[in-house]
């Protein structure tokens, strides 16, 4: 599978990038994508929610009325959940939402997501990005020259570049990631994916079966 390689000015370099069919051309597995996206989103949750149960309420422990003879239900504490100001029954407690997902399932999910983007013609190969200054207008110009203006774009670099990252972070529908941090959620969330040519070799090493 081949795709043309473009300059950051939008011009065709005349070169072709060889894409691995085992990464960009498989039959996508929807369930693997679902599991990996769920795994990613679960890991983002802080899990610090907490409400006060009756043991956490500050107040007297005196029995508030006699056991019998009042004509109403017995009650032993003002912290009882049925009273206003009492503790909550089975309220949320801090917990870890993350769960284990097999490495092979993660790789299958990423390959499936990339295959979907290839089918949708949402993959662009860029010869490289050179940015001497972290200027938003320079990055916006590159994006426009590539014909991706107005599309939610994921840019995949071969290695972290602070100038590229800083130039793109003020554009709301653009995300820049090094290839090592590429994940199924970001792939599926983007309309267009731009790979720097040098990142393809690393991608193949990470996602090879």
Render pLDDT for 99-127 as a digit per residue (tens, 0 to 9): 999 999 999 999 999 999 999 999 999 99
How many domains are contained in the chain? 2
List pLDDT tens digits, range 35-62: 999 999 999 999 999 999 999 999 888 9
- In this prediction, residue 105 carries a pLDDT of 96
- In this prediction, residue 133 carries a pLDDT of 87
More confident residue, 114 or 1: 114
- Interatomic CA distance for residues 137 and 151, integer angstroms: 16
Instruction: Decide if 184 is inside a domain.
Output: yes
- In this prediction, residue 149 carries a pLDDT of 87
Instruction: Decide if 181 is inside a domain.
Output: yes
Residues 57 and 156 in one domain: no
For residue 69, is pLDDT > 80? Answer: yes
- Confidence at 1, pLDDT banded by 50, 70, 90: confident
Residues 80 and 132 in one domain: no
Residues 130 and 63 in one domain: no
- In this prediction, residue 99 carries a pLDDT of 95
Range of the domain at 163: 2-28+101-207
Residues 15 and 69 in one domain: no
For residue 178, is pLDDT > 80? Answer: yes
Instruction: Decide if 65 is inside a domain.
Output: yes
Residues 88 and 108 in one domain: no
For residue 209, is pLDDT > 70? Answer: no
In sequence order, what E strands does 55-163 have?
Answer: 123-126, 153-157
Residues 119 and 199 in one domain: yes
Residues 125 and 167 in one domain: yes
- In this prediction, residue 13 carries a pLDDT of 87
End-to-end CA distance of the chain: 18
Instruction: Decide if 183 is inside a domain.
Output: yes
Residue where the block lists tokens 């653009």 = 174
φ, ψ of residue 3 to 5 degrees: the values are -135, 145
- Interatomic CA distance for residues 187 and 167, integer angstroms: 21
Residues 138 and 52 in one domain: no
For residue 160, is pLDDT > 80? Answer: yes
């Amino acid at each position: 599978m081949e795709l043309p390689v473009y300059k950051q000015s939008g011009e065709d370099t005349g070169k072709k990038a060889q894409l691995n069919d085992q990464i960009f051309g498989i039959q996508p597995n929807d369930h693997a994508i679902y599991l990996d996206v769920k795994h990613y989103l679960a890991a983002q949750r802080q899990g610090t929610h907490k409400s006060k149960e009756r043991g956490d309420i500050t107040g007297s422990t005196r029995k508030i009325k006699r056991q019998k003879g009042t004509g109403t239900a017995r009650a032993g504490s003002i912290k009882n959940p049925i009273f206003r100001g009492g503790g909550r029954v089975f309220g949320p407690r801090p917990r870890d939402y993350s769960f284990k997902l097999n490495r092979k399932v993660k790789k299958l999910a990423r390959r499936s997501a990339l295959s979907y983007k290839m089918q949708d013609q949402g993959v662009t190969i860029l010869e490289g990005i050179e940015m001497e200054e972290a200027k938003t207008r320079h990055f916006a110009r590159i994006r426009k020259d590539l014909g991706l203006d107005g599309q939610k774009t994921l840019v995949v670099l071969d290695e972290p570049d602070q100038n590229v990252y800083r130039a793109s972070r003020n554009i709301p529908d653009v995300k820049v990631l090094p290839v090592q941090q590429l994940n199924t959620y970001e792939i599926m969330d983007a309309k267009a994916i731009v790979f720097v040519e040098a990142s393809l070799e690393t991608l193949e090493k990470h996602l090879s079966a």
